[in-house]
Structure 1
Amino acid sequence: MTDKEQQRSAVLVTGAATRLGLAFSTAMADRGYDIALHYHHSSDQALQQAELIRHRGVRCETFQFDLSENDPGRLIEQVHHRFPDLQVLINSASTYHSGTIADTATRLLQQQFAVNFFAPYLMSASFSRLVARGNIINILDNKIAFQQYQYGAYLMSKKALAEFTTLAAMEFSPRIRVNGIAPGVVLPGETRTRDYIDWRIQGIPLQRQGQVEDLIQALNYLLDNEFVTGQILFVDGGEGINHQGLNAEDYQFSDESGDKIE
């Protein structure tokens, strides 16, 4: 290992072979971090992306790990063994299934919590034991601002992770700062149609779809501002605050004659 490599800090990004995890990995490489690239099934993509990241002048190693079946703390131990200067953990891996509370089977509830909550919880605990100083950033979902029971198990796991973010920030201070990012309509799933995205945009105060760069700017802010911990940045164009509720000023009804009464 060269002197330059010894001076570089490292980051573990979970779910880093595709989508947002890959974007965060690339952004951290551009900041000069060595990359521990975690993946589950996306083996070919992980190897290809790792090679591209190395072209940015940093070290990148891949780590295959099933967060739902194994002890996630072991992944931190494996990464720390190969990257002793591990300083950042980005919990980006996520699994998503729709289903109301009434339709949620035990297996689905366990699977959603295993990846979306238990894994970040246990990895953060291991990270806090092994890393002297650093940052943990949890990737959430702006749906935590709503009560969308149609995504019962998924949404509860993300709400739990949001609460954990503030709890861990208290416990791990001052050595480790813990924050979160709650993306809105930035990278919709491949099954989402253009009509659906346009419909979602109608509920966004800024009236546009977000860009990956918006999330990278949030990531950079949380890493650079050393006086911020326990915070969740909603990067969603204001969609998360667009829930005005019912109020008397908007209430109209008709009397028996059919005339409107305000």
Structure 2
Amino acid sequence: MTDKEQQRPAALVTGAATRLGLAFATALADRGCDIALHYHHSSEQAQQQAELIRRRGVRCETFPFDLADDDPGCLVEQVYHCFPRLQVLINSASAYHAGTIADTDRALLQKQFSVNFFAPYLLSGSFAKQVTRGSIINILDNKIAFQQYQYGAYLMSKKALAEFTKLAAMEFSPRIRVNGIAPGVVLPGETRTGDYIDWRIQGIPLQRQGRVEDLTRAMNYLLDSEFVTGQILFVDGGEGMNHRGLNAEDYESGDKVE
């Protein structure tokens, strides 16, 4: 191993075989970070993407792990053993299921919280024990600004993670900075139609869909800005603040807020 390789920082990205996790892992590789690529079911994709990341001139190793059922602290120990210069943790893995509070059973609630809250909580604690100095970024959802009970368990797990972001920032300072990114309409699920996206855009002040690059730029900002901790950066075109509430003037003018 060359001196340059020994000096490269490393990053653990959960859920990094696909979608946003992969985008963050790739952007970190472009920053010169070695990558610990976590995945659960996407084994073939993980191996393919790891090879593409290696072509960027960094080391990339894959780590299969079930964040819902296994102890997340063990994952950090495995990564740290492989990458002693671990400095970054991106909690990107997520479980997303719709369901009102009334329709949520114990199994759904447990699944949402195990992946979306318990895993980042435990990963962060283990990371703080192993790493001298570093940065944690929790990937949230701009839905934390809303009260969308149609996603009750999912939304509560992300709201809990948002509060944890601030709490962990206090505990881990000054060694480790902890921040969050709350994406809006950037990379919708494959089942979302074009009509649905157009409808969502109507509620976004900037009147457009975001790009993955908007999120990786946000990540780079949080990694580079060493005087920022405990913050949640909404990357959603202003959608999260676009709630005027019902009022008499709108009612009388016929401009009904739905």
TM-score (norm 2): 0.97
CA deviation string 1:36-76 (max 9, x = no partner): 00000000000000000000000000000000000001100
Amino acid at match of 2:60: C
Amino acid at match of 1:228: V
Aligned partner of 2:87 in structure 1 is: 87
Structure 1 position 136, deviation (Å): 0.2
Aligned partner of 1:175 in structure 2 is: 175
Q: Which residues of 2 match residues 141-220 of structure 1 at below 5 A?
A: 141-220=141-220
Aligned partner of 1:133 in structure 2 is: 133
Residue 223 of structure 1 aligns to a residue whose secondary structure is helix
- Unaligned regions of 5+ residues in structure 2, if any? 254-258
Aligned partners of 1:90, 1:17: CA distance in 2, in Å? 13
Q: Given the alignment of the two structures, is residue 49 of structure 1 paired with residue 54 of structure 2, yes or no?
A: no
Q: Which residues of 2 match residues 11-50 of structure 1 at below 5 A?
A: 11-50=11-50
Residue 252 of structure 1 aligns to a residue whose secondary structure is helix
Aligned partners of 2:130, 2:142: CA distance in 1, in Å? 31
CA deviation string 1:133-190 (max 9, x = no partner): 0000000000000000000000000000000000000000000000000000000000
Q: Which residues of 2 match residues 68-79 of structure 1 at below 5 A?
A: 68-79=68-79
Aligned partners of 1:4, 1:172: CA distance in 2, in Å? 29
Aligned partner of 1:98 in structure 2 is: 98
Aligned partners of 1:59, 1:39: CA distance in 2, in Å? 17
Between Structure 1 and Structure 2, whose CA radius of gyration is higher?
A: 1
Aligned partners of 1:2, 1:40: CA distance in 2, in Å? 32
Structure 1 position 251, deviation (Å): 3.2
Structure 1 position 250, deviation (Å): 2.1
Residue 234 of structure 2 aligns to a residue whose secondary structure is strand
Residue 233 of structure 2 aligns to a residue whose secondary structure is strand
Aligned partners of 1:77, 1:228: CA distance in 2, in Å? 27
Aligned partners of 1:247, 1:105: CA distance in 2, in Å? 36
* Count of residue pairs the alignment pairs up: 254
Aligned partner of 2:238 in structure 1 is: 238
Instruction: Please say which of residues 243-252 and 112-121 is displaced more in the overlay.
Output: 243-252
Residue 251 of structure 1 aligns to a residue whose secondary structure is helix
Amino acid at match of 1:144: I
Q: CA RMSD in A?
A: 1.1
- Percent identical: 83
Residue 63 of structure 2 aligns to a residue whose secondary structure is strand
Aligned partners of 1:202, 1:246: CA distance in 2, in Å? 18
